[in-house]
Structure 1
Amino acid sequence: MSDTTSASAAPAAPAVRFEDFGLSPDILRALSEQGYVHPTPIQAQAIPVVLQGRDVMGAAQTGTGKTAGFSLPIIQRLLAHASHSASPARHPVRALILTPTRELADQVADNVKAYSRFTPLRSTVVFGGVDMAPQTATLRAGVEIVIATPGRLLDHVQQKTVNLSQTQILVMDEADRMLDMGFLPDLQRIINLLPKQRQNLLFSATFSPEIKKLASSFQNNPVTIEVARSNATAENVTQTIYKVEEAAKADAVSFIIRQRELKQVIVFSNTKIGASRLARTLLAEGVKASAIHGDKTQSERMAALESFKQGQIEVLVATDVAARGLDIAELPCVINYDLPYNAEDYVHRIGRTGRAGASGDAISLFCDKDERLLVDIEKLIKKKFERAELAGFAPRMRAERSERGERSERGERSDRGERAERGERSDRGERSRSSRDGAAPSGRREKVDPWFLKPYEPSATETVSTKPELPKNNRPKPKVAALLGGMPKR
């Protein structure tokens, strides 16, 4: 296994500026237009190392700017090969950035395009769930930087619309999920298509020892950069845990949104069905909500995300497909409707708020059956939560169901009483009429034809056959005409 060098975890000094890294004026111009002057700690430590061509394993809290930490030096290194020629041959794929989700791929692509807008470099993004034809046309026209999800990239490889033989830089964003959640076979196929001599960059918020060992097997003496304690959550995010019964969680989410007057919040659910159900419940209560999960088409997911960013939707109910890579500027709050099964996903979920130094709130709901999941999260982030009750919250839906049940039960008892009383009055009236008529009460009688009551008598013309019936196998065989010549003469 390759030796690993650890970089200092000290934060960057405030005096450090992007222009101190020797970046191209075209890149600095793009950063200036976006208002970026000082790098974040992960950027300040990663950019110089990546510019040297070293392999890197970068671990930092989500929302600290890892994307710029690898994309800016990549753009700088590729400028030496930039060309204004329209020929696709002058624009081979030189950098490949792999992401686990479509949303993250789209976000990284937007950042790369923004940082390289004043350079001749071309970039594109390819992911599943959408038509391949536009992606194919862009790839055939030539691009230097490709951002992709593994499955769709292999589709293009199979269709021979992309060539990775000249790729110089491989990036795995959210590398722990890439290697740990079933992508390993696809990744191995992709790695086998790349040149042996290349730069490998792995960035993520969390790295388990197993993932580090696996990643180092194909990295060359990587530099490990950790700007915060492993699996730590941002200090500027206030984390609150409320104990709520399972049946009352939907009411609790609605209560929190109204109580805090939240106009932009992401609510995380563990299941696609649960996300859709919660979104419908919130809509029924007048909250502008929408759900995004794996069963939604890519266009539906992107439309919902864009509406959320524009403020047209107040609540985005999402599964963990949205926990990685969503970058909502100044998102004030996230709510865990369900605690994640994987403790590391908790770090990524609450990392959607409190980004770029802003403050945020992370609220989690749990019931008795979630205690083990909560303990796992506490062990991971090395923090003990105070289990609190949600002050002022009454499970309204449960009270309404109870009240409706009592009304229904009272109504049913009243209805049964009325029917019994009506039946008793009817029975008394019938017995009274019967006593007056001197006969027992009887139901309605149909007229009966006496002919049908007579016993069977054989008719005089009916005869009984005395000829014994031959057994089936002894019956004479029918005459069959010869195949040629017809029937024989008698």
Structure 2
Amino acid sequence: MAKEIELDEEQSFEDIGLDPRLIRALTKKGLQTPTPIQRVAIPLILEGKDVVARAKTGSGKTFAYLLPLLHKLFSGLDSGSGSNSSNVSGPTAFVLVPTRELSQQVYSEVMSLIELCRVQLKVAQLTSSMSNTELKQALSGPPDVLVSTPACVYKCLSGGLLQPKAIQESLSMLILDEADLLLSYGYEDDLRAFTAHVPRRCQCLLMSATSSDDVEKLKKLILHNPYILTLPEEDGGKDEIVPSSVDQYWISCEAQDKFLYIVALLKLDLVQKKVLLFTNTIDMGFRLKLFLEKFSIKAAVLNAELPQNSRLHIIEEFNAGLFDYLIAIDDGKTITKEQEAAGKDAEVKKSKKQRKQKLDAEFGVVRGIDFKNVYTVINFQMPPTAAGYIHRIGRTGRASNTGASVSLVSPDEMEVFEELKSTLAEHRSGEGDFIAPFPLLTKNAVESLRYRAEDQQRSVTGINVREARAQDIRNEILNSEKLTAHFRANNPRDLDLLKHDKILSKKEPPSHLRDVPEYLLDATTQEASKIVKLARAAMGNGKPSQYPSRKKRFKKNKDPLKAISTKGFKQRNKMRGKGSKKE
């Protein structure tokens, strides 16, 4: 059943009928009025209806299902039928998501609301890295809300940690977030095994950014006469798949010149910070990081090789504004069925050496991760599909904020680019270029940097890349495992000393490459840089950051590893010294 969303700007959370405790929690979070998808979805969910909600990134889909879920759980606690009741044998609600990063975000949002409401509810998060003992402990109670990927739920079912009878007796709400990605991430068998035990009375919700065949398949699998909610365009035009608040640009260049163009964009201050740079492979991501280090541009690399704790901390530091450049590896998991079949055939042909490395199958950066205040997305390498491009661009211009994207397109990527232009043309509204040539970078400005860029590009060899990857993994494993207890237990502020944008190259960047001399800048480039800086100041980027720098918070800037290892010796020596003075 399709339902037209009526936009009522006057409506508040009180008008929707939410629990007063939730309203107070939202007020503390600075949220006064619901978004369009929340205004329509929340009343339907409170009525017990099955709902399929399709809305763009940043539209408030997460709170559209979390708020009514918590409202119902609060009501159950008040009536004595909640998790404390003796007849509850399993989780009351499941929230299934495609990636561990999104799982962590949903878990954090639920916990923050519960803490603000001061209500006793148990929320558990399952990850594939947890041992059977840890999984059993998380499922004990049982939890009111279980946040997980489908693979972890299947692991618990097959291992006897989660009983089908408990699910059938206790499950009252099932939520599939980013439903259009769940099947493309390979969770179909896991979902089928789980949904076979979902009782018919269970309320089911599908939250998605796009409509696809996978969403239709999931609707038939678990929903019963659902309400279909789709956000209309505010301007009454076509359904734009990229927000109108995002300015899209492209630069035509040879593949080997991409490093030249990226250093020109960043060193000449022609794009707004913060910047998210996408590459298609881990090797290219580290090659780009090492190259940028030559010009004193520090960046972190977010990829599936890193431990989960490190990935989450990288995202937190980037969102907090502790560094401006993040290189994200997008391996193109959101693919068509034909591409998936072709990929499987190619996998069979890989050598044992190529198959040896295993990456985290539950990792994804294109969708789900809540990157905050990203002003510019740069496609250093074009994604293989138009859908991949759209999902990347969705990291900026969120919640009606402005943003920009710049794509570096080489001749061998023109086929993908033409497909992209056709896809955007079908969904655009109004006149004008929907993806235009980048206007601020002149040919003279690029050529003035060619000698320096090509010289440093040659110095980044394959051996450097392999060493950098290995060093980064060693650093992050140490940070993730050995220091977790230290930071969380007694020294949480020391966690800020873990810099994920540390320089990996052994040599310091040459001093003459740190700044671009004025004689290399033409008048057009200088004027363009001034425009970008003025716009940055107008948006607040020119003001002092609300987050104090590491130097202000940690004047001595001690290495936490050294501090841990030498702390006991220093105290002992200090006591000995005092003793000798007294004597």
Normalising by structure 2, we get a TM-score of 0.64
Identity over the aligned pairs, expressed in percent? 28
Partner of 2:150: 150
CA contact (8 A) 2:319 2:373 kept: no
Q: Distance in 1 between matches of 2:409 and 2:177?
A: 31
Letter in 1 for 2:124: T
**Partners in 2 of 1:108 and 1:63 — Cα distance?**
14
Out of 204, 211, 230, the position equivalent to 1:207 is 211
Evaluate the alpha carbon distance shift between residue 263 and residue 79 of structure 1 in structure 2; reply closer, same or farther with a 3 A threshold. Answer: same
Q: Count residues with an aligned counterpart.
A: 400
CA contact (8 A) 2:294 2:456 kept: no
Q: Which residue of 2 aligns with 1:7?
A: 3
In structure 1, what residue type is equivalent to 2:324? E
Deviations 1:209-265 (A, max 9, x none): 563255234311111111046562111111112222211223323322332364422
Rounded to whole Å, the distance in 2 between the matches of 1:287 and 1:385 is: 27
1:42 lines up with 2:52 in the alignment: no
- Greater shift after overlay, 374-383 or 93-102? 374-383
Q: 1:9 to 1:376 in 2, by over 3 A?
A: farther
> Which residue identity is paired with 2:246?
V
Counterpart among 64, 70, 73 of residue 68 in structure 2:
73
Name which of 354, 361, 369 aligns with 2:397. Answer: 354
AA of the residue aligned to 1:67: T
SS of the residue corresponding to residue 193 of structure 1 reads coil
> Following the alignment from structure 2 to structure 1, what is the Cα–Cα distance between the partners of residues 239 and 456?
51
Q: Matched residues in 2 for 1:36 and 1:102: separation?
A: 26
Give the aligned partner of residue 64 of structure 1. Answer: 59
Give the aligned partner of residue 192 of structure 2: 188
Residue in structure 2 matched with residue 113 of structure 1 by the alignment: 111
**SS of the residue 1:249 aligns to:** helix
Larger CA Rg, structure 1 vs 2: 1
SS at 1:364 equivalent: strand
Q: How far apart in 2 are the matches of 1:402 and 1:308?
A: 29
Match status 1:243 vs 2:241: no
8 Å CA contact 2:175–2:205 kept in 1: the answer is: yes
- 1:317-332 correspondence runs (5 A): 317-320=327-330, 321-332=364-375
1:233 to 242, 259, 267: 242
**Equivalent position of 2:93 in the other structure:** 95
Aligned partner of 2:172 in structure 1 is 168
Contact 1:107–1:326 (CA<8 Å) still a contact in 2? yes
Structure 1 pair 261–130 and aligned structure 2 pair: CA distance change class (3 A): farther
1:202, CA displacement in angstroms? 1.0
In the alignment, the residues of structure 2 paired with residue 281 and residue 402 of structure 1 have an alpha-carbon distance, to the nearest angstrom, of 10
Secondary structure of 1:124's partner? strand
Match of 1:345 in 2: 388
Residue 436 (structure 2) aligns with: 386
**Equivalent residues of 1:93, 1:146 under 8 A apart:** yes
Between the aligned partners of 1:404 and 1:374, the Cα distance in structure 2 is 29
Partners in 1 of 2:218 and 2:62 — Cα distance? 22
1:301 correspondence with 2:311: yes
Tell me how far apart the structure 2 counterparts of residues 31 and 230 of structure 1 sit (CA, whole Å).
30
Question: Residues of 1 paired with 2:440 and 2:314: CA distance?
Answer: 30
| Structure 1 SS opposite 2:327 | strand
After TM superposition, the structure 1 stretch with the greater mean CA deviation from structure 2, 24-33 or 336-345, is 336-345
Q: Is the 8 A contact 1:97 1:172 kept in 2?
A: yes
Contact 1:252 1:395 in 2 (8 A): no
Quote the offset at 1:157 in angstroms. Answer: 2.6
Q: Read off the aligned partner of 2:386 and give its amino acid letter.
A: A
Partner SS state of residue 239, structure 1: strand
Q: What is the correspondence of 1:398-437 to structure 2 with a 5 Å cutoff?
A: 399-400=451-452
Alpha carbons 1:56, 1:223 under 8 Å: kept: yes
Q: Please report how far the alpha carbon of residue 123 of structure 1 lies from its aligned counterpart in structure 2 after TM superposition.
A: 1.3
Which of residues 19, 26, 31 in structure 1 aligns to 2:21? 26
Please give the secondary structure, in 2, of the residue aligned with 1:285. coil
3-state SS of 1:282 partner: helix
Tell me the amino acid that sits aligned with residue 62 of structure 2.
T
List gaps (5 residues or longer) in structure 2.
233-237, 331-363, 429-433, 458-583
- Residue 441 of structure 2 aligns to a residue whose secondary structure is coil
Distance 1:42 1:175 in 2: 16
What is the CA–CA distance in structure 2 between the aligned matches of 1:281 and 1:266, rounded to whole Å?
16
Structure 1 residue 354 displacement after superposition: 1.6
Distance in 1 (alpha carbons) for counterparts of 2:412 and 2:329:
20
Residue 364 of structure 1 corresponds to 407
Work out the CA distance in 1 between the residues paired with 2:99 and 2:184: 14
Cα 1:36–1:313, aligned 2, differ >3 Å: closer, same or farther?
Answer: same
| Equivalent position of 1:409 in the other structure | none
Which residue identity lines up with residue 344 of structure 1 in the other structure? Answer: A
Indicate how the Cα distance of structure 1 residues 152 and 263 shifts in structure 2: closer, same or farther if over 3 A, else same.
same
> In 2, Cα distance between the equivalents of 1:132 and 1:291?
31
Give 1:128 shift.
2.6
Computed over aligned residues only, the root mean square deviation of the Cα atoms, in angstroms, reads 2.7
Q: Partner of 1:139 in structure 2?
A: 139
**Structure richer in helix, relative to its length:** 2
Tell me whether 147-156 or 248-257 shows the greater mean CA deviation: 248-257
Give the equivalent residue in structure 2 for 1:280.
290
Describe the shift of the 1:27–1:243 C-alpha distance in structure 2 as closer, same or farther (beyond 3 A).
Answer: same
- Shift of the 29–385 alpha-carbon distance from structure 1 to 2, 3 Å rule, reads same
Offset from partner CA, 1:135-160 (integer Å, 9 cap, x none):
43232132111111122222223333
Q: Conserved in 1, the CA contact under 8 Å of 2:195 and 2:222?
A: no
